[in-house]
Structure 1
């Protein structure tokens, strides 16, 4: 017999688990939804303010209520904020917990408060300011309105009635639960874990595998054989959108099933280090700070194409993106057409880093335009993947020397779990100011649905405002098609897109 002890996210309570609990019970399991102090009506706050330790105590009480002599294994499930009290409790009772399930949740660390995992960056900043202003004991963060739930995660798949009920039963979150650092001794590291990822919220097992392949040491623990992963093709609230599928995934996790990740280096080479699909000249690089230039043997100042990598990428990734075969291949392909090809490294290591990444790109462009071998009045920018959001500032106010803006399989709107709703990095909004700037967009026909939706939104907005947009499709291409798909599939579209950019620089 398995006992599932489930903890909900911010502003929500035990009620969100009702349908999932019923399905687990039908399958012969025991399920308990934890009532959190000050969030559930049956567990009101007592005395002064409620903090994270109070919620950890709530989970500990649920664990201790299971008779150790019964032989039942305990599986803790933490959704969203709920993973913090779950980990805190598992760290204190590691011998009682058979597995911890991260349900569309982050990876909390010792000494870091839950506020750091809040996806809504505007709210995070606002609450941080309140915390810095003085004593927050007893203060409450107001719950999300019906329209604001999307700021906490995708509501894809949640029926209207369920969203109405979620809103009606939402409770203010004690601010101290978000501000108090999580304290872990390390004992929880011995407990097996599973991650249930919701692809509609912008994350998948393949994405996590790619992050591991980048070589960040902090992620190598995810390749432990005791760690497994599952996907649900829904938004951030699977207990409301697909409770039966969630119950099935939880039962499989309890049984030790699920997909395992391979350690970095086992796949030689990983996708991002595989060869560029086109033959390009072996032109040497010239390094200038965070910029590499590939200069053709040609007379006079030449136009330049600046290639901007995607992300967010782990800070410790080696080699850095400007040395990846794809970026080098693009730059050398531009040089083969008589352009100065440019790659660069920018500091997009977290979704909150777009401002500084944009500053890094601007600095790189300034450096390139100052080079005497570059025609400063003929520059193209070519964004890749998550670098697509970095098109927004250039779309909103294109300078006269920017002759073309291109992108390969770009993300053109913040993904639901990025919390960038109110930032300036919204290409579909910015394109209305693009004017006569030509746009070239390489689309992957087999793109992830969540990313494809951002591209469709952008294309629709571009057509509505009359932008000069050329679409170059790679019908059988995946996200990252240069190193994932056959050269005969991706070669012709790549060459066509490059010719289009070069033509706009040469005209």
Structure 2
């Protein structure tokens, strides 16, 4: 017999699962809808010291009381944090972990980082959760639930029940980091993705094949996925469908993302152009690729520079780091072979809330490069890739006089669905209206992820309306990351056209 432990998101308790629990029970399963400390059970009130550890201990005690041989533990939204903590303590009892429209927190992550609404997230980040006045987060009411996730499909009476039964959330549950030993890292997992809230199997497949390398684990055969065409609270909007999906997940069913056995990750494959090595100088987090070796007659002559800004987010422990990925190295060498200085840096875009920090890293690198006597500080281009495209908002909104061109390749130009934690400042689709006559070279791939392609379309529409100077280099049969995936004449020609367009603005 299978036992389901159901853990809801913030402000709610076991009552949220009433309809789902009934349907699971009808199938013969044991069902334990958890109400964690302070979340509505008068026997376990919260206090200023209630934190994530309190909720993990609640679940560990519950798991220890269950006799069923197989426990499937389901974490919705914030609930995935105590679920992962409890599974780490009792891995031998857990048959499967289900991420129900939840993030993928790692060791050291606090739940506050995944709160979708920026205003709420910033307020929580400043809440210590220690004093008598600030240790609780007021429960949403009415339209405020939308700030925590899509309410699509929830009947009016169910929304009214949420308003009536929701309770304040102890702030410490959001601000205390999750601590994991790794004991539960090999457990089978299932992701249940709610498409009206912005997640989908298509996006997962894109992340595995073309996204940051930390998502490769999603192709593990022990990982399965389901989609529900509803909002963030499927236990209220689609209880029958959710119960069916949970039963199938417990049986090991679901969509599996696959990669070819032994296939090298896309970001580590060779660059599509055969470019000779150029002299490289590494200073801190910045690499300079120079047109001439030291001591050559023109080695000290100031040259224009192209600063390449990698995409992401990329996990902080990823090795090699982006500045050593073949694609970026290839671009830098190619630029240097044509007489400019190629610049590559590692920036700290490790999570969706890190864009401001990454922008600081890029700005500091640019200033360091412009101060180098071998660089013509008045002739610099910035070139952004993939998720790094959001970082182009600052120079587009206020182009500095030394910036001669902005380039973008398969860029993300507005936060994608589910990226609510990205600072509102990083919206290139809006910033381009202030770019004036700053030249923009945008490389667009025809086989792009639909959500990313939509941001590019919106950007180009705004650019056309404001008569921005945008040149589009199309790669009709190109994929996201095509420089190491599509070794075709079309792809090679696109890289050559884009590079020469950028250098034309620098050297003309």
Q: How big is each residue's C-alpha offset from its partner over 1:19-44, in whole Å with a ceiling of 9 and x where there is no partner?
A: 6556656766555533445444x657
Structure 2 unaligned residues grouped into runs of 5+: none
- Aligned residues of 1:441 and 1:471 also touching (Cα < 8 A): yes
Matched, 1:83 2:80: yes
Q: How big is each residue's C-alpha offset from its partner over 1:47-66, in whole Å with a ceiling of 9 and x where there is no partner?
A: 74655455456646765675
- Aligned residues of 1:73 and 1:98 also touching (Cα < 8 A): yes
SS at match of 1:74: strand
Matched, 1:129 2:134: no
Matched, 1:498 2:499: yes
How far apart in 1 are the matches of 2:33 and 2:357?
41
Structure 1 position 407, deviation (Å)? 0.6
* Counterparts in 2 of 1:354 and 1:421: CA distance versus 1, 3 Å: closer
Partner of 2:270: 275
- Aligned residues of 1:151 and 1:416 also touching (Cα < 8 A): no
How far apart in 2 are the matches of 1:440 and 1:302?
20
Partner of 2:282: 287
Structure 1 position 479, deviation (Å)? 1.9
- Aligned residues of 2:121 and 2:421 also touching (Cα < 8 A): no
How far apart in 1 are the matches of 2:43 and 2:413?
44
Q: How big is each residue's C-alpha offset from its partner over 1:199-223, in whole Å with a ceiling of 9 and x where there is no partner?
A: 7248843466469984x7xx89878
TM-score by length of 1: 0.82
SS at match of 1:130: coil
SS at match of 2:447: coil
How far apart in 1 are the matches of 2:152 and 2:261?
37
* Counterparts in 2 of 1:127 and 1:202: CA distance versus 1, 3 Å: farther
Instruction: Note the 1:88-99 alignment, pairs <5 A.
Output: 88-90=85-87, 94-99=91-96
* Counterparts in 2 of 1:430 and 1:409: CA distance versus 1, 3 Å: same
Number of positions where the alignment pairs a residue of Structure 1 with one of Structure 2 = 496
How far apart in 2 are the matches of 1:20 and 1:414?
33
Partner of 1:33: 33
Q: How big is each residue's C-alpha offset from its partner over 1:125-157, in whole Å with a ceiling of 9 and x where there is no partner?
A: 42343317x43588320234566555545x285
Structure 1 position 415, deviation (Å)? 3.2
Structure 1 position 99, deviation (Å)? 2.0
Instruction: Note the 1:203-218 alignment, pairs <5 A.
Output: 204-206=203-205, 209=208, 214=213
* Counterparts in 2 of 1:452 and 1:12: CA distance versus 1, 3 Å: farther
Matched, 1:449 2:450: yes
SS at match of 2:441: strand
- Aligned residues of 2:206 and 2:449 also touching (Cα < 8 A): no
Partner of 1:141: 137
Q: How big is each residue's C-alpha offset from its partner over 1:374-398, in whole Å with a ceiling of 9 and x where there is no partner?
A: 3322221110011111111111210
Partner of 1:389: 390
The alignment yields a C-alpha RMSD, in angstroms, of: 3.9
How far apart in 1 are the matches of 2:152 and 2:482?
29
* Counterparts in 2 of 1:279 and 1:150: CA distance versus 1, 3 Å: farther
Instruction: Note the 1:48-447 alignment, pairs <5 A.
Output: 48=47, 51-52=51-52, 55-56=55-56, 59=59, 63=63, 68=67, 73-90=70-87, 94-108=91-105, 113-120=110-117, 122-131=119-128, 134-136=130-132, 139-144=135-140, 149=145, 151-153=147-149, 155=150, 158=153, 161=156, 164-165=159-160, 168-169=163-164, 170-180=166-176, 188=184, 191-197=187-193, 200-201=198-199, 204-206=203-205, 209=208, 214=213, 227-232=222-227, 236-239=232-235, 246-258=242-254, 267-296=262-291, 301-420=302-421, 422-447=423-448
* Counterparts in 2 of 1:400 and 1:249: CA distance versus 1, 3 Å: same
Q: How big is each residue's C-alpha offset from its partner over 1:440-472, in whole Å with a ceiling of 9 and x where there is no partner?
A: 222222222332333233333333333222233
* Counterparts in 2 of 1:165 and 1:462: CA distance versus 1, 3 Å: farther
How far apart in 2 are the matches of 1:233 and 1:328?
41
Structure 1 position 315, deviation (Å)? 1.6
TM-score by length of 2: 0.82
How far apart in 2 are the matches of 1:109 and 1:311?
17
- Aligned residues of 2:210 and 2:481 also touching (Cα < 8 A): no
Structure 1 position 105, deviation (Å)? 2.7
Is the deviation greater in 326-335 or in 403-412?
Answer: 326-335
How far apart in 1 are the matches of 2:369 and 2:181?
49
- Aligned residues of 1:59 and 1:85 also touching (Cα < 8 A): yes
Is the deviation greater in 475-484 or in 282-291?
Answer: 282-291
Is the deviation greater in 294-303 or in 428-437?
Answer: 294-303
Structure 1 position 424, deviation (Å)? 2.0
* Counterparts in 2 of 1:136 and 1:465: CA distance versus 1, 3 Å: farther
Structure 1 position 399, deviation (Å)? 0.8
* Counterparts in 2 of 1:60 and 1:405: CA distance versus 1, 3 Å: same
Structure 1 position 82, deviation (Å)? 0.9
How far apart in 2 are the matches of 1:301 and 1:446?
39
How far apart in 2 are the matches of 1:166 and 1:413?
35
* Counterparts in 2 of 1:55 and 1:268: CA distance versus 1, 3 Å: closer
How far apart in 2 are the matches of 1:405 and 1:96?
54
* Counterparts in 2 of 1:329 and 1:87: CA distance versus 1, 3 Å: closer
Structure 1 position 329, deviation (Å)? 1.9
- Aligned residues of 1:6 and 1:34 also touching (Cα < 8 A): yes
* Counterparts in 2 of 1:480 and 1:163: CA distance versus 1, 3 Å: farther
Structure 1 position 179, deviation (Å)? 4.1
Is the deviation greater in 103-112 or in 460-469?
Answer: 103-112
Structure 1 unaligned residues grouped into runs of 5+: none
How far apart in 2 are the matches of 1:269 and 1:75?
33
